[in-house]
Amino acid sequence: MQALSTLISIEKDSIQPVYLQIANQLMVFIKDGNLQAGHRLPSTRQMADWLQVHRKTVIQAYDELLAQGWIESRTGSGTYVAKHLPEIHPRSLLNGSVKPINPAHVAGFEFEEAPHLDRPVIWSKHKYHLDDGFPDSRLAPLEELARAYRSQLLTGNPYVRLGYGDTMGSLWLRQVLADYLNDTRGLKVTANNILITRGTVMGLYLSCTAFLQPGDIAVVGELNYNGANMNFLQAGTKLLKIPVDEHGIVVEALAAICRKQRVRIVYVTSHHFYPTTTALRADRRIELLRLAGQYGFIIFEDDYDYDFHYLSKPLLPLASADKAGMVLYCGSFTKSISPAFRVGYLVASENVIRHLAKLRRIIDRQGDNMLENAIAELLQNGIIQRYLRKAMRTYKQRRDVFCELLKNNLGDYLQFQVPVGGMAVWTHFDPAIDINAVAQKALAHELFFSPGYRNDDVTPVLNATRLGFASSTPDELVTCVEIMKKVLKR
């Protein structure tokens, strides 16, 4: 025991009390089998002398171990390691013959890592950015949102406002959102057709978990949002990819698959196809809905940035023309306001929403009631609608500035089409240019942009990426292009 006491390390500057440091280290000795059940511990006076601490400190340490059941006190005999503990064969403490294990880094059990989950997280803290197509949070109605959020915290019945709520989401938000979507998207829904989520990805994950079985066929575009592909692979589906052209997915290729195999779900970004930003042509929309009705597959429509369409009024979603109840329509305020505000929505038939709400309960009991009600207030008062109109004008101006800058300064290095909507430009670099190398060099100048690796799983390699313009001012866009031109010339 005296030898073990020399291994007890006491840090005087630690925020943890000394008695807990002693108790915790003695506990480790017991767990590791270096102090076996029934072993007699030294007296508090003797331990205090060995450790050079006050006796009361050791008494507190022993009391802590007694309270937790690691040791027991026998009247007139002393203090012992609890006899009910199992026998543990100790590891060597001194000669290093046993390889040390750090459970903080590596678990003791085995598990298989899924390759499809190995996807870098976009998280840039650089001064300049041509991101994947994110909004400019500086334009968001933050003051109005803060006031509405504070009002939700402080007014009304606190038991109701601050307690558990509906797994479908805030009723107020669902009611206001139903009116908003009916007015802007041509839908015909009520609050019972809406499930509030943390974002589009959550809506897709719930849908995959609820409606897909291993071996089911999911169809996506050859170029596609990788987050969707990951969800389908995680669900164990057979992922089939169909060609994509300047008008979106080639629906004829989908029809050919349907004639041979049973398709369970088709994922589409019909308004601004990801990543190219093009719109799905009207005849293909009609045919896609017809095929869904004929073959019975689900259409998951991801309408991630509906509000920002510059050529004309936004195109109505597939869900607005769905007469057979085949479309799961998903959107969010993440791309409209800010990625930090995790409020999205999934629109579907009432029985689908009820089923998804049951599933949602076991992974996320509910969302942020305060934030959802605050968003509802801003929607009801027209604040979000006014913000979106202002943001649309601003982003259109930034698109025009950015495309002119690309044309005049980088025309020798890349090609692009001016996007009709969205917040990014789909850009093809010269085949001789290594986008990844250029992106790494740009980071040294405080400029971040995607190296395009998520889009290069097609043959031949496209050497293309999305350059987001919405989150930067015109002056910032000028600097971004100057940096790109500088690194491309090297």
Instruction: Identify the CATH number of the domain defined by range 128-133+387-489.
Output: 3.90.1150.10
Cα–Cα distance between 383 and 145 in angstroms, integer?
9
Cα–Cα distance between 422 and 278 in angstroms, integer?
9
Q: Residue 91 above 60 pLDDT? A: no
Q: Which residue matches tokens 């790109």? A: 484
Domain edges within the chain? 2-81, 128-133+387-489, 141-385
Q: Residue 481 above 60 pLDDT? A: yes
**pLDDT confidence of residue 342:** 85
Cα–Cα distance between 260 and 207 in angstroms, integer?
24
Domain 141-385 has CATH 3.40.640.10: yes
Residues 6+ apart with CB under 8 A from 470: 133, 134, 135, 136, 308, 395, 398, 399, 423, 424
**pLDDT confidence of residue 459:** 59
pTM: 0.80
Evaluate the CA torsion angle 440, 442, 444, 450 in order and state its sign.
negative
Cα–Cα distances in Å, from 353 out to 154, 316, 350? 31, 22, 5
Give the DSSP H or E segment for 449.
strand 447-449
| C-beta of residue 470 within 8 angstroms of C-beta of residue 133 | yes
CB atoms within 10 A of CB 239: 17
Closest Cα partner for 221 from 419, 418, 427, 455? 455
Q: In degrees rounded to 5, what are phi and psi of residue 239?
A: -90, 115
Cα–Cα distance between 174 and 192 in angstroms, integer?
8
Check residue 298 and give left, alpha or beta (phi > 0: left; psi -120 to 50: alpha). Answer: beta
Cα–Cα distance between 476 and 127 in angstroms, integer?
9
Per-residue 3-state assignment (H helix, E strand, C coil) for 147-206: HHHHHHHHCCCHHHHCCCCCCCCCHHHHHHHHHHHHHHHCCCCCHHHEEEECCHHHHHHH
**pLDDT confidence of residue 97:** 52
Q: What is the pLDDT of residues 350-392, one digit of tens each?
A: 999 999 999 998 888 777 888 899 999 999 999 999 999 999 9
Cα–Cα distance between 422 and 306 in angstroms, integer?
8
CATH class of 2-81: mainly alpha
Strands (E), 204-326: 217-221, 238-242, 244-245, 248-249, 263-268, 298-302
Q: What is the pLDDT of residues 261-313, one digit of tens each?
A: 999 999 999 888 888 888 888 899 999 999 999 999 999 999 988 888 888 77
**pLDDT confidence of residue 32:** 83
Q: Which residue matches tokens 């499930």? A: 195
